[in-house]
């Protein structure tokens, strides 16, 4: 007797036209999200001068956004389990772009921080949902590549936002720079609305808060997922701290670089565009547990280079740290989507909650280390985080997969 039940469409595989369209749409969305989020980073010294605030207070323009983003993603991830992936992502991009344009008109420091907080909330709809979208729609053998390309878009967006911010601040003002980035965000929102394929493997869930809380608890009981969430906090916390206070170091003698020159240093993000895709594909072939620790050790080596006084060594160290970070992040983020058996958007949201919580808390804490110990103080804080991350990576290699545990229980 033949089974006449409809067959589910096959998942997207690398090299096909549909896979390329998917990644182009996600690349544009990731570009816009990270340009909006990180465009203020090279402007922190400028904010300190214009608004007469310290380095730690100036960093709140980024830390408050990432902190609210971290919390709001837990809600956005759960909402997408009910409402769907694409509507949440498109709305997130549109609202964030409009708020970015509004922030360029902020009359004082307090109003700027309020709008940046709102941006953190509206941006939350894209990152966690995109990770779940990829894990559902892409063939498991191509997930690492797809996630790597999405993170590559994040890297280009983060780099472009920083460079645009620095150059236009020199040519005009920081308000002009942020306003232009908001306009780019509007274009990206339209592109995502037009080009992002609808989900075909998404199964909506009923809006039952108790069920959502229960599934979140299941993720937190998985030791492997807990370790990956911790990795997100440690890696992102260290990475953002380095970039936050790099600008302060390079504006001081003997370097005395201009905002546009400091913005150009962020071109190191280009290496992240390449490393995230390449390392993601490499991890698909060799195994995530064999590659993750190498990326963290690479970050430690780059951090050591930044301790020298020669500008070329400092920049070289930042490039090496950036390579290791984006490679490690592409591995860990795709690992979460593969390890979570159900409610993948929630698992992704928890990962990114820890990711941006690290950015927010450690990024601001680094200001205290900068005030007391200058660059060696900042580097020392980051080194502690990376050593802890390295130890967890070695431990992760010995943790059985969630599917293996499930099969063992069933048998």
Mean of per-residue pLDDT scores for the chain = 82
Tell me the H-state helices in 104-173: 109-123, 127-137, 143-171
Q: Which of 149, 306, 335 is nearest to 232 (CA)?
A: 335
Mean pLDDT, residues 222-237: 91
Q: What is the pTM of this model?
A: 0.71
For 137-174, how does the pLDDT look when each residue is reduced to its tens digit (9 = 90+)? 777 777 777 777 777 777 778 778 878 877 888 787 88
User: Does residue 98 have a cis peptide bond before it, meaning omega lies within 30 degrees of 0?
Assistant: no
Distance CA 338, CA 319 (A): 29
Pick from 116-120, 199-203, 232-236, 296-300: least confident: 199-203
Q: Is the predicted pLDDT of residue 94 greater than 90, yes or no?
A: yes
Distance CA 98, CA 64 (A): 18
Q: Which of 3, 11, 247, 276 is nearest to 136 (CA)?
A: 11
Residue showing tokens 């339209």? 190
CB 35, CB 157: distance < 8 Å? yes
Distance CA 384, CA 27 (A): 33
Cβ neighbour number for residue 54 with a 10 Å cutoff: 12
Mean pLDDT, residues 17-22: 77
Tell me the H-state helices in 39-107: 44-51, 55-58, 60-83, 85-103
pLDDT band at 409 (very low <50, low <70, confident <90, very high): very low
Q: Which CATH superfamily does the domain covering 17-197+208-399 fall into?
A: MFS general substrate transporter like domains (1.20.1250.20)
Q: Any idea where the domains of the chain sit in the sequence?
A: 17-197+208-399
Distance CA 331, CA 344 (A): 16
Which one of 86-90, 129-133, 279-283 scores highest in mean pLDDT? 86-90
CB 354, CB 301: distance < 8 Å? no
Q: Angle, to 10 degrees, between the axis of helix 85-103 and the axis of helix 174-195? A: 160
């Amino acid at each position: 007797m033949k089974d006449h039940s409809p067959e589910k469409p096959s998942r997207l595989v690398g090299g096909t036209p549909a896979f390329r369209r998917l990644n182009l749409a996600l690349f544009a969305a990731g570009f816009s999200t990270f340009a909006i989020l990180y465009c203020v980073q090279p402007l922190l010294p400028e904010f300190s001068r214009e608004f007469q605030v310290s380095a730690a207070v100036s960093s709140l323009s980024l830390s408050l956004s990432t902190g609210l983003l971290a919390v709001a993603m837990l809600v956005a991830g759960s909402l997408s389990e009910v409402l769907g992936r694409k509507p949440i992502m498109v709305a997130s991009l549109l609202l964030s772009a409009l708020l970015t344009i509004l922030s360029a008109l902020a009359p004082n420091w307090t109003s700027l921080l309020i709008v940046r907080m709102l941006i953190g909330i509206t941006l939350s709809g894209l990152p966690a949902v995109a990770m779940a979208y990829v894990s559902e729609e892409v063939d498991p053998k191509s997930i690492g590549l797809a996630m790597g390309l999405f993170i590559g878009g994040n890297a280009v967006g983060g780099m472009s936002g920083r460079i645009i911010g620095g150059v236009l601040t020199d040519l005009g003002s920081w308000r002009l720079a942020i306003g232009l980035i908001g306009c780019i965000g509007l274009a990206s929102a339209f592109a995502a609305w037009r080009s992002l394929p609808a989900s075909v493997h998404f199964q909506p869930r009923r809006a039952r808060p108790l069920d959502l809380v229960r599934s979140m608890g299941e993720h937190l009981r998985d030791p492997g997922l807990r370790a990956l969430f911790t990795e997100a906090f440690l890696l992102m916390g260290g990475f953002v701290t380095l970039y936050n206070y790099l600008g302060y170091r390079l504006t001081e003698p003997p370097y005395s670089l201009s905002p546009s020159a400091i913005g150009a240093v962020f071109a190191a993000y280009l290496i992240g565009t390449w490393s995230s895709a390449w390392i993601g594909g490499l991890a698909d072939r060799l195994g995530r547990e064999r590659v993750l620790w190498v990326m963290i050790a690479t970050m430690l080596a780059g951090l050591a280079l930044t301790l020298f006084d020669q500008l070329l060594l400092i920049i070289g160290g930042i490039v090496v740290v950036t390579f290791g970070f984006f490679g490690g992040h592409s591995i860990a983020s795709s690992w979460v989507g593969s390890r979570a058996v159900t409610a993948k958007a929630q698992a992704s949201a928890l990962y990114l909650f820890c990711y941006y919580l690290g950015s927010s808390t450690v990024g601001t804490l680094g200001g205290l280390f900068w005030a007391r110990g200058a660059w060696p103080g900042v580097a020392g804080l980051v080194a502690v985080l990376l050593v802890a991350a390295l130890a967890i990576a070695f431990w992760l290699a010995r943790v059985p997969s969630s599917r293996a545990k499930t099969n063992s229980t069933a048998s």
